[in-house]
Chains A and B, each alone.
Chain A
Amino acid sequence: MSALYAFGLLILLAFLGTRFLVRKKSLSALNYLFLSGFVYIFLGLYLGHHGLNILSSQVLEALDPLISLGLGWIGFLFGFQLERKYLKRFSKKAVGLSVFKSLFVFLSVFGVMLFFVVRLFAEQPPYLLFGMALAFALLGTVNSPTLLNAAAFVLPARGDYFYLARFLTSVSGFWGIVGLSLLFSFWYFPLIDTPVVIRGALVLSVSTLVPALIGVLFHFLTRAKASEQEILVYVLGLVFFVSGAAFYFNLSPLYVSMIMGIVFSNLTRIHERLYPLLLSTEKPIYIIFLILIGALWDFRLDWSIALLVVVFVLVRIVGYTLPLPLCRLILKYPNPLPPVYGLSFLSFGGIGVAVAVSLKLAYPMELTDVFLSISLLAIIINELLGPKALQRAILRLDSEIK
């Protein structure tokens, strides 16, 4: 009976989705919640052990490969868009801005979150709390262009600020994912008690070289004329394989899939055929991933978690907004970068969820459950704030230029 109920809910969500999506004239928070698929996290939460328990721990275990696929897919797609030709379109100053923006957010989030977690979870070993603060800092640097793409339909004026923001949100995940890989490599690697530099370097090399090799294999497989269905088998199989290998050896699934995506994207010449295929497959995989993450989420909310969510959200906003004029000064950036422009970067997108979840899955412990709860709550709040904040920032700046 509960399966029937769950199924009804799924249909209801799809139905509500159509109703909200049909109206594209405005981009409200609720509208975006459906558009981005984040609403499915709540469905998953309800289907999991907090609700109907249809997605029980046994079912989740059996569906583990789909979580792995979701993470790998996000990483692969992210890497796939990092094509040399695309990146070349942007100036070095824009790339520098991306670095500085991420660095400021990283440092500010790390400092503030470390201050709080050390006080709130004093009973935990300090090295774990240090790792937790690092994880928050990395997560803080991640943005997604999904909101900007969605907003493209509703923004009357799309100028330089819009396109710069799209570039910055597209590449910012790179720094977060690379940082995550460093964390996986040099931090608490299972069965290695202490962080060892040589071992860490070895792990990092393996997590770079092996997926690069598989990226070459992927190119080799699709070089001969392959049908769309065949390409789908290759891409699904290789993403499963690479992401599965990452979980098997406790590497970062996002990083290894991203490397595979980068290598493949820069070798292949079939982008035009691949993009429609990847985009049509993306949404179902992504929605399933979000439902499973919701079910996996051991939802917790006490005053310490609530406090950390608020702090994380606020410090990230501050980290994105206030240092922008300073960035302009350092880089001698030609356009003004007022603090309000930082409001364009609030949305985490799926990549934020992926970063948070990959840490929880790699290090299953009490503290990562807390980390996941804080992260997901903060991500959802940001996704709700994002549409209004973005419209405020971009509309104002681009219409000023026009």
Chain B
Amino acid sequence: MVALVFLFLMMLVLKNPSFLPFANTDQSTSIALGFILIFAFLFGKQVERLGLPQITGFILAGILCGPYVLKFLDTEQVADLQLIDGLALSLIALTAGGEMKISRLKGRLKTISSLVVFQTVFMLGGFVIFGLIGRKIFPFFSGDSLVQSLALALLLGTIATATSPATTIAIITETKSKGKHTDLVLSVAVVKDFLVIILFAFFLSLSSLFFFPDQGFDAGFLLEIMRDLGGSMFLGIVVGGGIILYLKYIKQEMTIFILGIAFFTYQISHNIGFHPLLICLVAGFLVENFSPHGDRLIQAIEKSSLPVFVIFFAISGASLNLEALRSSWMLALVCVFLRGLLKFAGTYTGATLVREETVVRKNSWTGFISQAGVSLGLAVLVERAFPGLEGKFFPLVVAVIAINQIIGPVMLQKYLIKTGEAGTKNLNS
């Protein structure tokens, strides 16, 4: 605590305007990154004492130091850190892919598909009904026509279906969880990510029919997103194959190689619109399941996973637009509550149908609350596709993500503790 206060005071002094004439303000990203790394980590440790996950602390520290509260990091610095954030995401996705072992998932395929299908169906159905009812209450849904309101609700429902694999893997790593419930939560989150992107592409094209009826069904979006998805998976296979060959024949400079992969996927996704998360998930999955050296890759990444998590989640926190939360907090709260309810209903139904045990039926929905990058990216696409929604759709999604990203990790941690799988990884291995 003393160190936390000391650092905080030091940053206050450094950011004091009276020092500005001596400061080279163009060179402030490193100091911001160093500060956020230590501060978020120490903050996470304090939060852990309250029984909450460290990553909630990292995110809160990011929010606190970010451009909307203490302004230790301004929006420009947060933007400057996006590349480093992107590299961290790729590393996290590689780990997530590597944690999904076919041998462990084989017996759970029925449960996984049932949970994915029912969560999705309930979420879409629930949001459509909400859109119909909410049309009278919330101006957000009051489009020019009923079908437009429905289209909005459908897109919102699709985005709400997603769960953040990055947050999931971070909590799994932090709590050292291992076991069938852990595998279930992670694999449902990953599979849903694929499904959400495909569904989103379809609904976006469909919505364009409602918003621009003169143009007819615009398959352009669908094709574009399918191309990105297919391309990402293909590239994931290529990258995974490359990693396998590297691990087999070269072996040297593993860290540089992994960072090179992270940078390469970031560059590719940045330039041609592929999804770095999917590329690395597929690559990690492939290496773990089709190469005897998979564990070496995961070990190499996990060795430095803590700083990667701290940086990633603290920057995520700093990137959260609190203005958006302020402007649409009421509807956001309703959406968060509704999403939670639908997650429970979908998970309960799905798990009951495949006769899963009680803890899965009643509690596993809490593992699917967190939301992050993919949802945010999809919301950007909606605003881009329908300029009329500018400043309306995106802030709402950001506000919902902000709330879910704070409560999601806490709920997942509680679930893993409840299943008894938290803290078992070292014991098992």
Q: Which residues of A are interface residues toward B (Cβ below 8 A)?
A: 3-4, 6-7, 10-11, 14-15, 17-18, 21, 54, 59, 61-66, 68-69, 190-191, 217, 220-221, 229-230, 232-234, 236-245, 247-250, 280-281, 283-284, 287-288
Contact = CB atoms under 8 A, between A and B. Distances in A.
B23 A15 contact: no
Name, among B34, B37, B41, B252, the residue most crowded by chain A CB atoms within 10 Å (CB to CB).
B34
A370 B206 CA distance: 59
B310 interface: yes
Contacts of B252: 14-15, 17-18, 21
Interface range on chain B (Cβ under 8 Å from partner): 35 or more
B82 interface: yes
Given A17-B252, A217-B3, A240 B34 contact: yes
21 contacts: A3-B264, A4-B264, A11-B257, A17-B252, A62-B84, A65-B33, A191-B21, A229-B306, A232-B304, A236-B34, A237-B34, A237-B38, A240-B34, A244-B28, A244-B32, A247-B24, A249-B19, A280-B303, A281-B304, A283-B253, A283-B256
Contacts of B3: 217, 220-221
B31 A245 contact: yes
Nearest to B36: A237
A68 B28 CA distance: 11
Q: Which 5 A-B pairs have the closest CB atoms?
A: A241-B34, A244-B30, A240-B34, A244-B31, A237-B38
Contacts of A250: 22, 24
B255 interface: yes
A6 B260 CA distance: 9
Contact of A248 (B6, B24, B41, B80): B24
A65 B84 contact: yes
B289 interface: no
Nearest to B252: A18
B71 interface: no
B363 interface: no
Interface centre among B31, B83, B246, by most A CB within 10 Å? B31
A287 B256 contact: yes
B46 interface: no
B35 interface: yes
A14 B29 contact: no
Nearest to B251: A18
B24 A190 contact: yes
Contacts of B84: 62-63, 65-66
Nearest to A55: B263
B14 interface: yes
B271 interface: yes
A252 to B, nearest CB: 13
Interface string B177-205: 00000000000000000000000000000
Interface of B: 2-3, 6-7, 14, 19, 21-25, 27-35, 37-38, 41, 80-84, 242, 246, 249-253, 255-257, 259-261, 264, 267-268, 271, 303-307, 310
Tell me if A's interface is mostly helix, strand, loop or mixed: helix
Contact of B250 (A14, A62, A281): A14
Given A11-B250, A191-B22, A229-B305, A64 B30 contact: yes
Contacts of B27: 64, 68, 244, 247-248
Nearest to A241: B34
Nearest to A231: B306
A7 B279 CA distance: 16
A287 B254 CA distance: 12
B48 to A, nearest CB: 12
A244 B38 contact: no
A294 to B, nearest CB: 14
Given A238-B34, A248-B28, A284-B256, A62 B82 contact: yes
A247 to B, nearest CB: 4
Interface SS of chain B: helix, strand, loop or mixed? Answer: helix
A280 B254 CA distance: 11
Contacts of A232: 304, 306-307
B7 to A, nearest CB: 8
A218 B31 CA distance: 16
Nearest to A203: B22
B83 A63 contact: yes
Contacts of B264: 3-4, 6-7
Contacts of A18: 250-252
Contacts of A220: 2-3
Given A15-B250, A62-B84, A233 B310 contact: yes
Given A21-B252, A249-B23, A243 B310 contact: no
A287 B253 contact: yes
B34 A11 contact: no
A243 B307 contact: no
B31 A241 contact: yes
B72 to A, nearest CB: 12
A397 B32 CA distance: 51
B21 to A, nearest CB: 6
A242 B34 contact: yes
B271 to A, nearest CB: 7
A63 B29 CA distance: 10
Contacts of A217: 3, 6-7
A129 B34 CA distance: 35
Given A237-B34, A284-B259, A287-B256, 19 more contacts: A7-B261, A18-B252, A59-B83, A63-B83, A65-B84, A191-B22, A220-B3, A230-B306, A232-B304, A233-B41, A236-B307, A240-B34, A241-B30, A241-B31, A241-B38, A244-B29, A244-B33, A248-B30, A283-B255
